[in-house]
Amino acid sequence: MSPAPRIATVTLNPAVDQTVLAPGFSLDTVNRAISSRTDAGGKGVNVASFLAHYKHKVTVLGLLGEDNDKLFTRHFSELGIVDDFSRVSGATRTNIKIVDHDTNRITDLNFPGPAATAADLEAVERQLIVSAAEGLDWLVLAGSLPKGLPEDSYLRFIKWARMAGCKTVVDTSGLPLRVALSAKPYVVKPNVEELRYILGGRLETSVEVAAAGRELVQEGIGLAVISMGGDGAVFVSEEGAVHAIAAAPYVASTVGAGDAMVAGLVHAHVRGFDLREMARISTGFSLGALGEVGPRLPEVARVEELAQTVCLAPV
């Protein structure tokens, strides 16, 4: 029996995710919430949580505010996630998502979070080396960078991973994504808007998106997955390109839906799935997250059921 794959995620700008249900929410007036929940969040944290839901062993690293880390430590303990976060002074930021099911509108209010320093980044890098002392198979770099860190912060982790024989997944945006792409990570998951920023062009149809994905693969990316929002996602590798699309049966919240797809991609790679199987299951992960309030997945059987509703078309 082969050993379980060793997976780690890095979240440099985590967040306390507060999801508020407020029917009839509108601006410039008093709104009443009917419920709310608070979760340990941040893109890499969410990816780790979804992988742990599928019984993968995961280590989380990054920068966590020491003033309010109890929510995170409890969450990691409950899911069996190894907590190797570096603690920094101050509090982890809060992201608020206001969900109005009456109008199917979701309003985000994201806070900037505490600033970080070069010393903080070096602490994460040192901890990664310690955590990976017995080897590491997958490293997921996800989310925005906190104020104070340079745009090439992910670059150093990708270069380290390549020397360590570890595959990297990058899910970020803007200049940090552009710089990260120069280091040729194994998997990238931009959305259409982010890819337009990198490559230019219209990118309005799945054919145009697939062509852009092929450009990334030809430049050395192993797998490019481009999210098209309600129009699904395009998956491109040396195997080919497929457009995956499925109707979400119910949208409770969009929190973590993209992160669930990243977790599905890692899960699929670990299981040795081909491109079509990978597109199905990772989209199933995303659909599952859409049906839950907060960053979580339904039961595994439900995720697998949702994956079978995904339609695939070559592009």
Euclidean distance between CA atoms 109 and 111, whole angstroms:
7
Rounded to the nearest angstrom, the gap between the alpha carbon of residue 196 and the centroid of all alpha carbons in its chain is 19
Euclidean distance between CA atoms 196 and 201, whole angstroms:
6
Euclidean distance between CA atoms 215 and 224, whole angstroms:
9
Euclidean distance between CA atoms 255 and 306, whole angstroms:
18
The pair of three-digit structure tokens given for residue 216, joined into one six-digit string: 């990334």
Euclidean distance between CA atoms 21 and 281, whole angstroms:
29
> Which helix (H) or strand (E) covers residue 187, if one does?
strand 187-188
Q: Is 259 a catalytic residue?
A: yes
Neighbours of 214 (CB within 10 A): 19
β-pairing, 7-11 with 138-142?
A: parallel
Given a contact cutoff of 8 angstroms between Cβ atoms, the answer to whether 253 and 270 are in contact is no
Euclidean distance between CA atoms 85 and 57, whole angstroms:
16
Euclidean distance between CA atoms 240 and 252, whole angstroms:
33
Q: How many Cα atoms within 13 Å fall on the side-chain side of residue 308?
A: 5
One-letter amino acid identity for 178?
Answer: R
Which letter does DSSP use for residue 55 in this model?
Answer: T
The pair of three-digit structure tokens given for residue 288, joined into one six-digit string: 């599952």
Catalytic residue among 69, 120, 171, 259: 259
Euclidean distance between CA atoms 299 and 305, whole angstroms:
10
Catalytic residues, which ones? 259
